[in-house]
Amino acid sequence: MSRSPLSPPAVIVVGAGPAGLMAAQVAAAAGARVDVYDAMPSAGRKFLLAGRGGLNLTHSEPLPAFLGRYDTAARPRVERWLRALPPQALRDWAQGLGVETFVGTSGRVFPQEMKAAPLLRAWMARLRADGVHFHMRHRWLGWRDDPVSAPASSLRFAGPQGDVDVRADAVVLALGGASWARLGSDGAWVALLRERGVAVNDLAPSNCGFDAQWTPLLRDRHAGEPVKAVAARVGDGEMRRGEFILTVSGVEGGLVYALSAALREQWRQHGHAEMRVDLLPQMEAGRVAMEVAHPRGSRSWSSHLQSRLNLKGVKMALLRECVPAQAFHDPAWLARCIKDLPLRLARPRPIDEAISSAGGVRLDEVDDDLQLRRLPGVFCTGEMLDWDAPTGGYLLTACFAGGAVAGAGVAARLGLGRV
């Protein structure tokens, strides 16, 4: 595009979530003229909903442990992003906006006011003060020109007054995945990039619930109840402590979300998945075996296990649901099931119900600055890239950090220097 030699280079950011807004901030700070386009009526819609019950901004654990939460294949790339904007730097950034944070008992980091809205308001005010312009209700339609020969120029948008063409020197795509489509993340961009030869892995639900084929008895009596103070693993994976919720259709909640990537892969390979649940992780297996084997006299198994192990309610119902009836005639077998309960899952819940999505633009399609190798001048960041992370601050932190990397990459490409 032609511009005055004295005018700053123009940058378009498509997507007003955390990754896009951070890319806009970094590019504007470097001296670019930044315009942000988004299909929604206002910025950060999914960010606001995710923080409605308490915005988990990041986590306080040491960086090596923090990095271990990301999927192995993507971890080297995510580590580079987090080196650019580590968790403590993200807290410092929030403080710079006037938002103090604190570490909760779980190690998770929250704003003092807990909610996302005050942080987003302060951030938007800062961006506007830095000269960033926002164009809401503009849905990206692709390119007017051939993006291979003119990758950043002539983007097309469907706006409130009809289609518009916009030209820029560089573009950042931060369009999210395909979860919570009503908030803008609908995955429509996949076809647009594939048409241009960019390899995009199919989007799949992550941090999601799973269906299970419950009996009517369990479903009718216990749907909606939390299963607390348990631990679970997938296959030979790490045992994680936490809780989950029994739903009408299956299971959901923090512990399930933490294992969802492994469960999804197991389901993909075998057509089903299995979560191995320790109903009493605070008690040694030998102690459980001894208490189960204690003579129960005329008491029922429910009374006996409640008396000896305080195993009752939804945990007892799950035990009866998931183990063969013969196990209740073999105390040693029953004790093993209490410590290693096989919970069979049929399938993930639909992607639009998921907190996030896996899949997306393959990481080998972008360089270290997150610029598409096939489309120079076009950068991709955030959840539309193929990496995966659990909730707990890990997903959000990497979105912020990836946005910062893309913004710095744009600045370097435009000769504005790295920031």
Q: Is the pLDDT assigned to residue 153 strictly greater than 70?
A: no
Q: Poorest-confidence range of 6-10, 40-44, 151-155, 227-231?
A: 151-155
Maximum CA pair distance of the chain? 92
Residue 151 has pLDDT above 90, yes or no: no
Nearest to 154 by CA among 139, 166, 142, 171: 166
Q: Identify the pLDDT of residue 1.
A: 45
Query: What is the location of CATH 3.50.50.60 in the chain?
Result: 10-205+357-414
Residue % of the chain over a pLDDT of 90: 83
Express each pLDDT in 60-105 by its tens digit: 999 999 998 898 889 999 999 999 999 999 999 999 999 999 999 8
Which of 179, 164, 173, 169 lies closest to 193, judged by CA? 173
What integer pLDDT is reported at residue 54 of this predicted model?
83
- Which residue in the block uniquely carries the two structure tokens 């710079």? 96
* Lowest-pLDDT choice from 141-155, 207-221, 309-323: 141-155
Nearest residue to 231 (alpha-carbon basis) of 212, 207, 273, 259: 259
Within 8 A by CB and 6+ apart from 68, the residues are 75
Block residue for tokens 């020969």: 149
pLDDT at res. 139: 96
Q: Sheet holding 58-59: strands in order across?
A: 58-59, 108-111, 101-103
Residue 393: both structure tokens together:
């601050």
Confidence band for 347, pLDDT divided at 50, 70 and 90? very high
214 pLDDT band (50/70/90 cuts)? very high
- The CATH class of 10-205+357-414 is alpha beta
Cα distance between residue 115 and residue 127, in whole Å: 20
- Give the model's pLDDT for residue 154: 83
Burial of residue 220 (CB within 10 Å: 0-12, 13-18, 19+) is exposed
Nearest to 232 by CA among 273, 189, 174: 273
Tens digits of residue pLDDT in 155-198: 999 999 999 999 999 999 999 999 888 888 899 999 999 999 99
pLDDT of residue 52: 73
Least confident of 45-49, 75-79, 367-371, 397-401: 45-49
Q: Give the separation between CA 1 and CA 166, rounded to whole angstroms.
A: 10
pLDDT at 5: 54
The pLDDT of residue 184: 80
User: 234 and 266 in contact (C-beta within 8 Å)?
Assistant: yes
Instruction: Decide if pLDDT at 417 tops 80.
Output: no
The predicted pLDDT at position 2 comes to 45
Residue 390, both tokens: 């659990």
Q: Which of 37-51, 325-339, 376-390 has the lowest mean pLDDT?
A: 37-51
* Main-chain dihedrals φ then ψ at residue 397, nearest 5 degrees: -60, -45
Residue 24 CA, distance from chain mean position:
21
Average pLDDT of the chain to the nearest whole number: 92
